[in-house]
C-alpha cells in the first residue's frame, strides 16, 4: 500500500502526518508493504525528502525518537516532485505508483482539491480501493463546500472519501463515546430533565500571526465552530447509535446537526457575541492587536460565543453554549455537562446555597481528563450540621494507564484510513448540515449588523459574552 502525502513538504505534513506515521511504525501498526511518498512541486530528491522527514520526526518525537525505528521508517520514504493540479503531474505519479492500492492525503489548500481530483481521475488513479483524505476547511460556506464536495465526488465515491476533523482522533473524544455508551449510569440522566446546559470552550493563547491572510477570510465561526466544535456538540448530543460502524454513528450525528434551531436576526444579538482581540499581555508578553497583525482594518471575529438549541425531545430547553477565541488567557479545550441542582436542599447554610449542582468536565487540552464533580461532606465537626464541598471523581487517563506518550490525534485517524474505517471521519451530509446552520448565523449577523466587540489579548473574551450568558441565567465555567 502507498500513502501519498500531497503537500508532503508543508507544515501539516512535517508537524503531524510524518511523525504520526513514524509512531504507527514504532508501534508495529504499519504493515511491511506500506510506503510513504511525499509529493510537492519542490525540487527535492528521495534523500533530501528523507532528511527533511526524519528531522521533522526527531523534532516532534523528542525523547521518544528511536534511531532503529527511524531507520526502518526512512526505508519506506520516497519523494515525487510534481504539480498535482495538472495532468502531467498526475501522470508522473501514475508512472511511479502504477496500480498499487493508494491513499491520497491532500495536505494542500482546498482551492486545489478540485484540480487535483480531476488530474487523478484523468490519470486513472481514482478507482477502488484507492481513497482520498481531505483536510479542513472544506469550503467557507454551504455553496463553496458543495462545489468542493461535488468535485471530489466525481473522482472518489463517498465511502472512499475521508474528511478529517482531527478533534475526532483525540483519545478523550473517543472516550466520550465510551463514557456515554459503555456505562448504563449516564444514559437516564443524559437529557434536559437532568442536564441544565452544556458548555464547549476552545480557547487558544496564540494569535493569528502569519496565518492572517487565511484567517481573515474565515474568522472564528468558520475556522473553529463550524467543524471542531459542532462535531463535539454532536458527540455529546447524539442518540445512542446501533453500533460503532461508520454509518450508524454518522447517521446520529447528522440528525443533531439538522435539529439545530436556526437563529434569526431578531435573536442573534441575545444569542451570540463576536469579538476581536486588541493589544494586551498574553502569556506574560505584551502583544499587538489583531488589526496590527493584519496591517489593515478588519471586522473578522477572533472570538465567538454562541448559544445553540437542539430541537428534539432529549434536548428541548437545554442551551448548548459554545465559545472560542484566540489570544485568550489560557489554552483550554473543554466540555462541561452542567447538571441541574438538587430540587430541595436538606443542608443548612445560606438556604442550601453550598449544594452545588454536579458537573461532568471533559478536558481535551492541555490535559486529557474527565472528572465528575460530586458534593461531599467536608470532614470535621460542625455544630450546625454538615458542610459540603465539591470533590472531583477523576478518570485521569494518565493516572489510570500510566504517563505514557500522548498520541498525536492523526495516528488514530491515519490508522483508520489504512483499515477502511470511516467512523471518525465527517460525511458529506454532515458538512452540508453544519454549513447550513453556520450560514444562517452569518446571515443573521449581517442582517442585524452585529460587529466585533474588542477584548484584551490574554483575557477571557469580550464583556458582552459574560452579559450574554448572565442573561441566559448561567455563567461560564472558569
Ligand atoms: P503549507 O505549509 O502551505 O503546505 C502546502 C504544501 O502543498 C506544500 O508542501 C506545497 O509545496 C504543496 N503544494 C502546493 N501546491 C501544490 C501542487 N499544485 N501540487 C503538489 N503540491 C503542492 O500548508 P499546511 O499548513 O501544511 O496546510 C495544508 C492543508 O492542511 C491546508 O488545507 C490547511 O488548511 C490544512 N490544515 C493545516 C493545519 C496545520 O496545522 N498546518 C491544521 C489544520 C488544517 P510546494 O509549494 O513546493 O508545491
Task: Note the pLDDT of residue 55.
Answer: 97
Which residue bears the cell 445512542?
A: 240
Instruction: Report which of 137, 453, 451, 158 is spatially closest to residue 278, judged by C-alpha positions.
Output: 453
Taking the CA atoms of 309, 314, 318 and 320 in sequence, report the sign of the dihedral they define.
negative
Taking the CA atoms of 49, 50, 52 and 53 in sequence, report the sign of the dihedral they define.
positive
State the pLDDT confidence band at 353, using cuts at 50, 70 and 90: low
| CA 391/CA 375 separation, integer angstroms | 6
Mean per-residue pLDDT, 277-285: 89
What topology is assigned to 168-403+426-471 in CATH?
A: Dihydrodipicolinate Reductase; domain 2 (3.30.360)
Q: Give the distance (Å) from ligand 1 centre to CA of residue 469.
A: 38
Task: Note the pLDDT of residue 176.
Answer: 93
| CA 263/CA 272 separation, integer angstroms | 10
Omega of the bond leading into 348 within 30 degrees of 0 (cis): no
Task: Note the pLDDT of residue 464.
Answer: 98
Which residues lie below 8 Å from residue 364, measured CB to CB, with a gap of 6+? 167, 170, 172, 173, 333, 334, 335
Q: Among the atoms of ligand 1, which is closest to the Cα of residue 137? A: 34
pLDDT of 71-105, one tens digit each?
A: 999 999 999 999 999 999 999 999 999 999 999 99
Q: Identify the residue whose C-alpha is closest to ligand 1 atom 21.
A: 40
Task: Note the pLDDT of residue 397.
Answer: 75
The CATH number of domain 2-164, selected from 3.40.50.1220, 3.40.50.720, 3.40.50.11540, 3.10.290.10: 3.40.50.720
Cβ(111) – ligand 1 distance below 6 Å: no
pLDDT of 135-180, one tens digit each?
A: 988 999 999 999 999 999 999 999 999 999 999 999 889 999 999 9
Pocket test for ligand 1, best of 20, 40, 408 (most atoms within 8 A of CB): 40
Contact 303, 455 (CB under 8 A): yes
Task: Note the pLDDT of residue 189.
Answer: 97
Mean per-residue pLDDT, 345-358: 74
The SS3 assignment for 375 reads strand
Task: Note the pLDDT of residue 79.
Answer: 98
Residues of the chain with CATH 3.40.50.720: 2-164
Which residue bears the cell 438538587?
A: 342
Q: Among the atoms of ligand 1, which is closest to the Cα of residue 8? A: 9
Distances (CA, A) of 431 to 101, 149, 173, 229: 27, 9, 19, 13
Q: Give the distance (Å) from ligand 1 centre to CA of residue 135.
A: 10
Mean per-residue pLDDT, 208-219: 91
| CA 385/CA 319 separation, integer angstroms | 36
Q: Give the distance (Å) from ligand 1 centre to CA of residue 258.
A: 32
pTM equals 0.95
- Residue 352 pLDDT more than 70? no
| Burial of 111 per CB tally in 10 Å (0-12, 13-18, 19+) | exposed
Task: Note the pLDDT of residue 380.
Answer: 84
Q: Identify the residue whose C-alpha is closest to ligand 1 atom 38.
A: 12
Per DSSP, 204 falls in state: -
The SS3 assignment for 52 reads helix
| CA 184/CA 477 separation, integer angstroms | 27
Cβ(5) – ligand 1 distance below 6 Å: no
Task: Note the pLDDT of residue 388.
Answer: 86
Choose the most confident range, by mean pLDDT, from 103-107, 294-298, 374-378. Answer: 103-107
Cβ(84) – ligand 1 distance below 6 Å: yes
Task: Note the pLDDT of residue 351.
Answer: 52
Q: Give the distance (Å) from ligand 1 centre to CA of residue 409.
A: 18
Cell, residue 208: 493569528
Per DSSP, 351 falls in state: G
Pocket test for ligand 1, best of 82, 107, 217 (most atoms within 8 A of CB): 107
| Burial of 267 per CB tally in 10 Å (0-12, 13-18, 19+) | middle
Cβ(83) – ligand 1 distance below 6 Å: yes
| Averaged pLDDT of the chain | 94
Q: Give the distance (Å) from ligand 1 centre to CA of residue 292.
A: 25
pLDDT: which is higher, 355 or 340:
340
Q: Give the distance (Å) from ligand 1 centre to CA of residue 105.
A: 11
- Residue 367 pLDDT more than 70? yes
pLDDT: which is higher, 118 or 352:
118
Q: Identify the residue whose C-alpha is closest to ligand 1 atom 32.
A: 109
Instruction: Report which of 272, 224, 281, 292 is spatially closest to residue 462, judged by C-alpha positions.
Output: 272
Residues of the chain with CATH 3.30.360.10: 168-403+426-471
Residues annotated as catalytic are 228
Residues facing 162 on adjacent strands:
133
Q: Identify the residue whose C-alpha is closest to ligand 1 atom 10.
A: 7
Cβ(9) – ligand 1 distance below 6 Å: yes
Task: Note the pLDDT of residue 4.
Answer: 98
| CA 396/CA 370 separation, integer angstroms | 6
pLDDT of 404-455, one tens digit each?
A: 788 999 999 999 999 999 999 999 999 999 999 999 999 999 999 999 999 9
pLDDT of 5-40, one tens digit each?
A: 999 999 999 999 999 999 999 999 999 999 999 999
Amino acid at each position: 500500500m502507498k500513502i501519498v502525502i500531497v503537500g508532503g513538504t508543508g507544515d501539516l505534513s512535517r508537524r503531524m502526518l510524518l511523525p504520526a506515521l513514524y509512531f504507527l511504525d514504532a508501534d508495529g501498526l504499519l504493515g511491511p508493504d506500506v510506503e510513504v511518498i511525499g509529493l510537492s512541486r519542490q525540487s527535492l530528491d528521495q534523500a533530501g525528502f528523507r532528511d527533511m522527514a526524519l528531522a521533522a520526526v526527531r523534532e516532534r518525537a523528542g525523547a521518544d525518537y528511536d534511531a532503529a525505528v527511524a531507520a526502518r521508517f526512512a526505508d519506506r520514504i520516497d519523494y515525487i516532485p510534481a504539480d498535482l493540479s495538472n495532468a502531467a503531474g498526475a501522470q508522473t505519479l501514475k508512472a511511479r505508483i502504477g496500480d498499487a492500492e493508494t491513499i491520497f492525503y491532500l495536505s494542500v489548500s482546498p482551492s486545489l482539491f478540485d484540480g487535483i481530483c480531476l488530474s487523478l481521475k484523468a490519470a486513472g488513479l481514482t478507482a477502488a480501493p484507492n481513497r482520498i483524505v481531505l483536510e479542513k476547511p472544506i469550503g467557507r460556506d454551504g455553496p463553496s463546500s458543495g462545489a468542493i464536495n461535488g468535485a471530489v465526488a466525481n473522482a472518489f465515491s463517498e465511502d472512499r472519501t475521508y474528511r478529517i476533523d482531527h478533534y475526532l482522533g483525540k483519545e478523550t473524544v473517543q472516550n466520550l463515546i465510551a463514557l456515554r455508551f459503555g456505562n448504563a449510569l449516564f444514559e437516564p440522566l443524559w437529557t434536559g430533565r437532568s442536564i441544565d446546559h452544556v458548555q464547549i470552550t476552545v480557547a487558544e493563547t496564540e494569535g493569528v500571526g502569519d496565518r492572517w491572510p487565511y484567517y481573515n477570510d474565515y474568522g472564528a465561526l468558520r475556522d473553529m465552530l463550524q467543524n471542531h466544535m459542532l462535531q463535539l456538540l454532536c458527540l455529546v448530543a447524539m442518540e445512542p447509535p446501533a453500533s460503532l460502524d461508520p454509518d450508524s454513528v454518522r447517521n446520529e450525528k447528522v440528525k443533531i446537526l439538522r435539529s439545530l434551531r436556526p437563529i434569526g436576526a431578531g435573536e442573534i444579538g441575545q444569542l451570540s457575541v463576536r469579538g476581536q482581540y486588541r493589544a494586551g499581555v498574553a502569556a506574560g508578553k505584551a502583544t499587538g492587536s489583531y488589526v496590527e497583525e493584519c496591517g489593515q482594518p478588519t471586522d473578522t471575529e477572533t472570538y465567538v460565543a454562541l448559544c445553540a438549541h437542539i430541537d428534539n425531545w432529549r434536548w428541548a430547553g437545554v442551551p448548548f453554549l459554545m465559545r472560542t477565541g484566540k489570544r485568550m488567557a489560557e489554552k483550554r479545550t473543554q466540555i462541561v455537562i452542567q447538571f441541574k441542582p438538587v430540587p430541595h436542599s436538606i443542608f443548612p447554610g445560606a438556604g442550601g446555597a453550598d449544594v452545588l449542582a454536579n458537573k461532568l468536565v471533559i478536558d481535551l487540552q492541555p490535559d486529557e481528563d474527565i472528572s465528575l464533580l460530586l458534593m461531599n461532606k467536608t470532614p470535621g465537626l460542625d455544630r450546625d450540621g454538615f458542610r459540603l464541598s465539591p470533590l472531583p471523581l477523576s478518570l485521569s487517563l494518565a493516572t489510570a494507564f500510566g504517563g505514557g506518550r500522548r498520541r498525536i490525534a492523526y495516528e488514530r485517524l491515519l490508522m483508520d484510513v489504512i483499515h477502511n474505517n470511516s467512523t471518525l471521519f465527517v460525511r458529506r451530509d454532515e458538512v452540508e448540515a453544519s454549513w447550513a446552520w453556520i450560514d444562517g448565523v452569518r446571515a443573521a449577523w449581517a442582517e442585524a449588523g452585529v460587529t466585533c466587540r474588542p477584548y484584551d489579548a490574554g483575557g477571557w473574551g469580550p464583556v458582552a459574552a459574560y452579559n450574554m450568558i448572565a442573561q441566559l441565567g448561567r455563567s461560564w465555567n472558569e
